[in-house]
Amino acid sequence: MPSLLGRISSAAQFLIVAAVVIECVVFALLSPSFLTLDNFVNVALQIAIYGILAVGMTLVILTGGIDLSIGSIVALSGVVAAGLLEKLAHEARLAILLATLAGVGIGMASGSFAGLMVTRLRVPPFIVTLALMTVCRGLAFIFTGGFAIGNLPLGFSFLGRGHLWAIPIPVVMMALVFLGGHLLLSKSAQGRYIYAIGGNEEASRLSGIDTRGVVQRVYLLNGGLAGLAGITLASRLGAGVPNSGLNYELDVIAAVVVGGTSLMGGSGGVAGTFWGTVFIGILNNGLNLANVDPYTQKVALGVVILLAVLLDRIKK
């Protein structure tokens, strides 16, 4: 049985990589500008925020949960960081440090709240995070009065628009987050516990695993990554925007599911999520270059999600 599961997992990985190659060929034929260095850099920057979020979402879904609030947490973290930068403009270096810590802290606090509601009060993750999505978005608009907070220090722009050896900083951050997620799931006891809980939470509890603690830490980490993504997005935009991150959760969940992580939990990983993120990023970019209207793009994304879920059911 383990060897059979391994072959199924390898086949799923091969399929998503093959799908990425096929869509690259198709979009290269449809648009001459697709196979350019500038466009590939653009795609990498576009998927960087989604990639950071997708790692946290992968961990949550592996436990059998879901998080609909990450887009709103991105917005709230970004505007809080921008607000601190505006207040402490005369202390630029200190302001950047405090703003970064505050943004990540907002995300961790939101994730911790969701984790407590899910584990202690047994509220379904869908309901908890749906409510949190609305609350965080509302707080972002209350905090800003509905207007973007701009005029941020130049040093803050490095996080979203800087480069490390010609590689954009957001892409470097995404790579580090994916690496950390892979090591967590494949090399640590916590990773084994996450898979076990997603497979059978009650059996995991009876075997001595602190299921509540593991799930709480997963939501905490997911919230922290959402906060980091929010700061990075605010840095890239040069402003804290209260309506930023709209519908990010849909694209992120799509990337995770397309990457082979089961919505039922217990199966998948960040390697597949990486390719799922690349697939969704290239799909959006290629459709834009092919001048496909946004409504049709939404239809295409929905079809991709449905096919991924159907393949997951067939696999099971």
- According to DSSP, residue 148 is labeled -
Quote the pTM value: 0.93
Length, in residues, of the chain: 316
* Tokens encoding 233: 């997005």
Q: What is the CA radius of gyration of the chain?
A: 19
The pLDDT, as a whole number, for residue 119 is 94
| Closest C-alpha among 123, 133, 155, 160 to residue 75 | 133
The pLDDT, as a whole number, for residue 129 is 96
Give the C-alpha distances (Å, rounded to integers) separating 40 from 43, 45, 92, 272.
Answer: 5, 9, 33, 20
- According to DSSP, residue 1 is labeled -
Strands 163-164 and 167-168: antiparallel
* Residues of the chain where predicted confidence (pLDDT) is lower than 50: 1-3, 5
Beta-carbon count within 10 A of 299 CB: 12
The pLDDT, as a whole number, for residue 72 is 96
Distance from chain centroid for Cα 227? 11
> All domains of the chain, ordered by start, with CATH?
10-26+33-315 (1.10.3470)
The pLDDT, as a whole number, for residue 56 is 96
* Tokens encoding 185: 């799931």
d(CA 302, CA 298): 6
The pLDDT, as a whole number, for residue 1 is 41
